[in-house]
Structure 1
């Protein structure tokens, strides 16, 4: 139980140190009636899929890059990228492609240099690189970033819901072929 308590303390520290302005930008983005495209590599990619599913439950049009049914991204669309380092090779290629068509890009990362180029949200978490500015963690690799991204993005979706969206309305959009 000590490990669980330590992880929860880490999550509270990381999640409560996200900048309010960046968080509000994400909430406002989730309120828009646009198409959302999600991407990330490894565990960050899995978190991107989790958040894409939850945003779909809220009634948004959502796609995950790499799926066979994902259409072309267009200028009015938004690409949400989860990347702890902000410099994964495939992620950089995707960012370049989305930029070429003029899509809006919103980065979720620990890398402040990336946000000089793109709109987004910094999660002040540890990555697998253990850079000097990253917080201490008992967790391996990028666990701290991925867990925080899940919590923060889920919270942003909750904050984006209008009062008519209840558990039942979201449940009605949940898969019924299970």
Structure 2
């Protein structure tokens, strides 16, 4: 079977393989960090940034005080806040200074990356190791036929949604109840 004949099946198989590599302890820690933070700030660049924005939206739907770094309505980060950075390489030039500044301020920094040994990973208080790019293939089992960082970005979105489900269960919150925070000026 050619990839083009059933691309969705290939993608789903890759996602299953990648998900099997996730460390449940790291995901639990991430959920606990979100629930114990004063405020949550998310950052990412490119498509990874879009996945982090999607995560921020779901956190907002839950009633969590959340901000996307770089937006005009984003407040200042402070001690006790949580900065979550999504970066496959962990070396994104615009994100490295954010991690360093957040550390200096006394905020907690979490990195969602495939490179825990990266600059952002080393500057983080905790790392959620995600699989997912062709560069990743030589060292890890999460190989992919998808272009560039697609697998990483997909697993980043899924991890965000899995954390949301965990928080919903902990707070005994239903998806229906979350609609009260959904945008109503659309």
TM-score, normalised to structure 2's length?
A: 0.89
Structure 1 counterpart of 2:143 = 136
SS of structure 2 residue aligned to 1:37 = strand
Alpha-carbon separation, structure 1, partners of 2:171 and 2:25: 23
1:9 alignment partner, one of 13, 17, 34: 13
Deviation at 1:79, TM superposition (A): 0.1
Greater relative contact order (CA < 8 Å, ≥ 6 in sequence): 1
Structure 1 counterpart of 2:164 = 157
Contact in 1 for aligned 2:37/2:81 (Cα 8 Å): no
Q: Which whole-Å deviations, capped at 9, do the CAs of 1:48-83 have from their partners, x for residues lacking one?
A: 100000011111000001100111100110000000
Contact in 2 for aligned 1:84/1:145 (Cα 8 Å): yes
The ranges of structure 1 where at least 4 consecutive aligned residues each deviate by more than 6 angstroms after the TM superposition are none
Structure 2 counterpart of 1:122 = 129
Equivalenced residue count is 177
Structure 1 gaps of 5+ residues are none
Deviation at 1:103, TM superposition (A): 0.7
Structure 2 gaps of 5+ residues are none
Deviation at 1:31, TM superposition (A): 2.2
1:176 alignment partner, one of 168, 171, 184: 184
The answer to which of 40-49 and 157-166 deviates more is: 157-166
Structure 1 counterpart of 2:30 = 26
Give yes or no for the alignment of 1:81 onto 2:98.
no
The answer to which of 69-78 and 162-171 deviates more is: 162-171
